[in-house]
């Protein structure tokens, strides 16, 4: 469940850094990588972040739309995710 909220956070961060633009452009991708890599709370390597960033933001977009429709607590109602996601 926590992972779902993290992906929504990544999506919201893209909207914040990208001035409301949803498309993940190369410049926006670079800015987001810099922000995430410089955070002391994120322990993943920059290569791991690069590989997964598009997946995380795409999932965040879907979960964000789900929350817009049903409220923020809706992510608790979804069944657990498998480890392969």
The pLDDT score that the predictor gives to residue 58 is: 86
pTM above 0.85, yes or no: no
Kindly give, in sequence order, each residue whose CB lies less than 8 Å from that of residue 23, ignoring residues fewer than 6 positions away.
none
pLDDT in tens, 8-56: 888 888 888 776 666 667 788 888 888 888 888 888 888 988 888 888 8
State how far the Cα of 85 lies from the Cα of 76, in Å rounded to an integer: 17
HSE-up (13 A, CA, CB side) for residue 62:
7
Q: pLDDT tens, 49-85?
A: 888 888 888 888 888 888 888 887 788 877 776 555 5
């Amino acid at each position: 469940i926590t992972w779902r909220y993290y992906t929504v956070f990544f999506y919201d961060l893209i909207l914040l850094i990208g001035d409301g633009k949803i498309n993940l452009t190369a410049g926006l991708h670079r800015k987001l990588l810099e922000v995430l890599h410089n955070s002391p709370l994120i322990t993943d390597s920059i290569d791991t972040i690069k590989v997964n960033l598009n997946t995380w933001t795409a999932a965040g977009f879907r979960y964000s739309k789900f929350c817009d429709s049903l409220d923020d607590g809706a992510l608790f109602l979804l069944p657990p995710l498998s480890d392969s996601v």
